[in-house]
Amino acid sequence: MRLPNGENLDIITMPVVTTIPKKAPKKKEPLEKKKLIARDISWLSFNARVLQEAADNTVPLHERIRFLGIFSNNLDEFFRVRVATLKRMMSFGRSAKMHLEENPDQILDEIQTKVIEQQREFDLVWKDIASEMEAQRIFMRTEKQLNKEQQKFVQNYFNEKVRTNIIPLMIESIQQFPILRDKSIYLAIVLARQDNSVRQKFALIEIPTTVLPRFIIIPSKPGEHDIILLEDLIRFCLPNIFSYFGYDKFLAHIIKVTRDAELDIDNDISDSLIHQIEKGLKDRRKGKPVRFVYDKDIDPLLLEYLMRRQGLSGKDNLIPGARIHNFKDFMDFPESIFPPHLHRKTFTHPLFVNATSVMHVIHRQDVMLHFPYHSFDTIIDLLREAAIDPNVSSIKITAYRLARNSKIINALINAVRNGKQVTVVLELRARFDEAANLEWKARLEEEGVKVLLGIPNTKVHAKLCVIKKRVGTKTLQYGFVSTGNLNEKTGRIYGDHCLLTANRSIIADINRIFTYLENPRHDIKILEGCKTLPVSPLNMRDTFLRLIDREIKNARHKKKAAITIKMNSLSDATLIAKLYEAAKAGVDIKMVIRGICCAYTENKKWKKNMTAVSIVDEYLEHARVFIFHHGGQQKVYIASCDWMIRNLDHRVEAAAPITDPAIRQELIDIMNIQLSGNVKARILDNEQKNEYKKDGDKKIRTQVEIFRYLYEKQYQ
């Protein structure tokens, strides 16, 4: 593969599992005996849908590049967590079985096959994108392709911004070999002299992409855009770094390590949890390598040295590649060089456009916000209003993933400064956000916020808030139940629903959940008082099983029976088995599943096959919606949880029934739009081939249609 400038490039984002011996192929079981699609294989099918977006030439070029970055980042996390877990299971034997992974060695074999296939597809997609970049006069220059003006620019940039951010390591002189950071890339360098008068030496430089951009726009000809990668800029300046030692010949190649990212944390949820997480984060940096990726042209002696010093061998997934690694950074490829892309703008829900008080509106009626179509600012406005309202006495809220400069946190701190009692349930174990949440904990407690940390063996994933206000002799309460995180950044790109309500039965249950979270013993009996909100780990699965059973009963009595569900992932064996039973009875089942779908959707013994689609588009489909026909009295829920074991048994989650008829119909309409989509919807069949849904004469791109529906419906 070649860049527009002719430079060879081999994207090493597709690791190959090399340690599992091939077995003789097993005979295919009849579908009736197959119960579930392996979770990890289904996940790879989802990532293939991300790659499809990168391949779609109707998508703007910079968005296609971004999807390649998303694909690569997804795969990195897949290997850090899922492949690492499968390898652990193999080490511990059958006693380590988790969820659906009964045969981890077989699944690793399948992963190997699929990632090789996706690597080939990735290469073809990048080749096509590179050609399109060339057509748009965009070039990526290496250190050997710079003209004099560019060389001067690069030298100045290095001296002004790079030099102080790198620490060259003469690794042969270091007794303890440095631990290579996960997610980082390094230049592994051979230092020598042209006349071979001194023995060559080895050095290592971490590329400082956490503090400097990976892509640097350099002076270009009129009508062109030239870009150099940060590592190539450093390559050009190697003589400035090492000439002091008398070297004048340099060979530099990129290497990368991917490590096991799982944290080993005891069940104790006392203050020691903080120390456990801090230790776990340190240990994660030293986690067992899952991949070692290197430039295939690297000096053999340097490669052998790096392997020996890190204790690596052929069993450690050594992946030879070429020049560029960490393609995830391409998510931040500079957009300024591309023609402007007109994004749909978020808009304020009409009930709040001229409202002087968010709480007054919620007091009168329930309101459903649909992100990112509706502005996330309404949530921030609600918390800001509560922070300064003299009648508000307390705010309680859950937090899982927060924005880097969180306006949510700022509003809560302002509330404390104004004399309110503020309680934040902060989940320290939110994967890859552990360090950020530790910092938020310290800041919140410094300001006087009461911070609750979680529950043994259970993550708090519910998205809840309750605000108490005293007006005269009355106590008024407002709150919300959301499907997504309280994060204003992702609120602009994640598709979610948030119910703002003063409904007494819903608020009562939210208070019960907070009482449970605040109770030192975390007595599950407290949650048994919840009469309106289904809650995990208490009764969420059972609630949905009962609702499906009702549809099965109606179908068997020849009555209309239908289920429409939307979620990120479907892998819970019990609920999938119940869906199979419903399909066999003739229940009309329609599903929108963005990611993992472990359910087969077709079986000749069913009266009605299930239909399932996955929508991958500009926004990340993140909402969870459940609709049951229920004898014509439709039951509609939103929830924070997917149908996965971890959500239903090992997390605190909440679902909310939609009782307002107008909002209920609004959600039904939105789901019908998603089910009718035929532009960005892929069919999830038994083979998960990701074929585009093409039915209908009119092209329906669901995210465009939902925006139009909400805008026209609310502003007509």
* Active site amino acids: 461
DSSP string, 478-511: EEEEESS-S-TTGGGTEEEEEEEE--HHHHHHHH
Instruction: List the structure tokens of 589.
Output: 């089942």
Distance CA 224, CA 221 (A): 5
DSSP string, 37-67: --HHHHHHHHHHHHHHHHH-TTS-HHHHHHH
**Residues 365-368: contacts with CB under 8 Å, at least 24 apart:** 365/660, 366/499, 366/500, 366/501, 366/502, 366/503, 366/659, 366/660, 366/663, 367/499, 367/500, 367/501, 367/663, 368/497, 368/498, 368/499, 368/500, 368/658, 368/660, 368/663, 368/666, 368/667
Give the 3-state DSSP-derived string for 72-107, with helices as H, strands as E and coil as C: HHHHHHHHHHHHHHHHHHHHHCHHHCCCCCCCHHHH
Distance CA 383, CA 374 (A): 17
CA angle 582, 585, 589 (to 5 degrees): 45
Q: Are strands 138-141 and 225-229 parallel, antiparallel or unpaired?
A: parallel
Q: Say if residue 312 is exposed, middle or buried (CB neighbours under 10 Å; 0-12, 13-18, 19+).
A: middle
Cβ proximity of 614 and 592 under 8 Å: yes
In 3D space, the residue among 375, 413, 377 whose CA is nearest the CA of residue 395 turns out to be 413
H or E segment and range at residue 279? helix 272-285
Distance CA 298, CA 706 (A): 51
Distance CA 637, CA 635 (A): 7
Distance CA 71, CA 46 (A): 10
Q: Are strands 562-567 and 588-593 parallel, antiparallel or unpaired?
A: parallel
Distance CA 677, CA 691 (A): 13
Collect all residues with Cβ–Cβ distance below 8 Å to 593 and sequence separation of at least 6: 566, 567, 568, 569, 570, 612, 613, 614, 684
Any alpha helices (H) in 528-588, and if so which ranges?
540-556, 573-585
The residues facing 638 across adjacent strands are 625, 656
Distance CA 591, CA 49 (A): 17
Cβ proximity of 666 and 563 under 8 Å: no
Cβ proximity of 597 and 688 under 8 Å: yes
Question: Rounded to a whole number, what is the largest CA-CA distance in the chain?
Answer: 92
Backbone angles phi, psi at 146, to 5 degrees: -95, 135
Sign of torsion over alpha carbons 142, 147, 149, 152: positive
Cβ proximity of 624 and 595 under 8 Å: no
Any alpha helices (H) in 141-236, and if so which ranges?
148-157, 230-236
Instruction: List the structure tokens of 375.
Output: 């502005």
Distance CA 161, CA 482 (A): 43
The single-letter code of the amino acid at 98 is M
